[in-house]
Amino acid sequence: MIRNEKTLIVLGFLVTVVLLAIYIILFLASNLSSLLFKSILFGTLLSLLNFAIGFLLIRLSIKKSDKVFLTVLWGGLLFRLLISLTLVIITLKFLEINAYEFIFSIFFFYIFYLIIEIIYLNLRRKSQFDGK
């Protein structure tokens, strides 16, 4: 079980880097087409951007009052979803990518980063109640 927020974030980014390294190795070994590689890469980066914005908003508002925190959390969620939707539409419309792989990689990494955010919030909550 992960007991430290920093360990959680490092682990999350380490998983992302390892998966991207696997994609790059498969691409360089000609086991992954250029189209498929671009699709997965753009989906991963879009989800990473979404996570980075959300994590930054959580970090900025976690020590504020509950009202401010919830406003930033839900407002940030709406903002992130609108930005993500806009970027997905632009990417699908103007870039030559495989739509299915792009959407699948967004879905996979969105769920992955969402789990990290939830665990992070739980760890922060526990540390606040423990007086750390």
Encode pLDDT of 71-126 as tens digits: 998 999 999 999 999 999 999 999 999 999 999 999 999 999 999 999 888 887 77
Asked whether residue 56 is assigned to any structural domain, the reply reads: yes
**Owner of token pair 């509950």:** 66
What is the structure's pLDDT at 5?
A: 79
The domain total for the chain is: 1
Asked whether residue 83 is assigned to any structural domain, the reply reads: yes
Q: Which domain holds residue 45?
A: 5-123
Burial of 26 (0-12, 13-18, 19+ CB in 10 A): middle
Question: Does residue 22 carry a pLDDT above 90?
Answer: yes
Contact in structure between 27 and 37 (CB atoms under 8 Å):
yes
Asked whether residue 128 is assigned to any structural domain, the reply reads: no
Asked whether residue 129 is assigned to any structural domain, the reply reads: no
Asked whether residue 130 is assigned to any structural domain, the reply reads: no
Q: Please give the Cα distance from 16 to 8 (Å, whole number).
A: 12
Asked whether residue 58 is assigned to any structural domain, the reply reads: yes
Asked whether residue 33 is assigned to any structural domain, the reply reads: yes
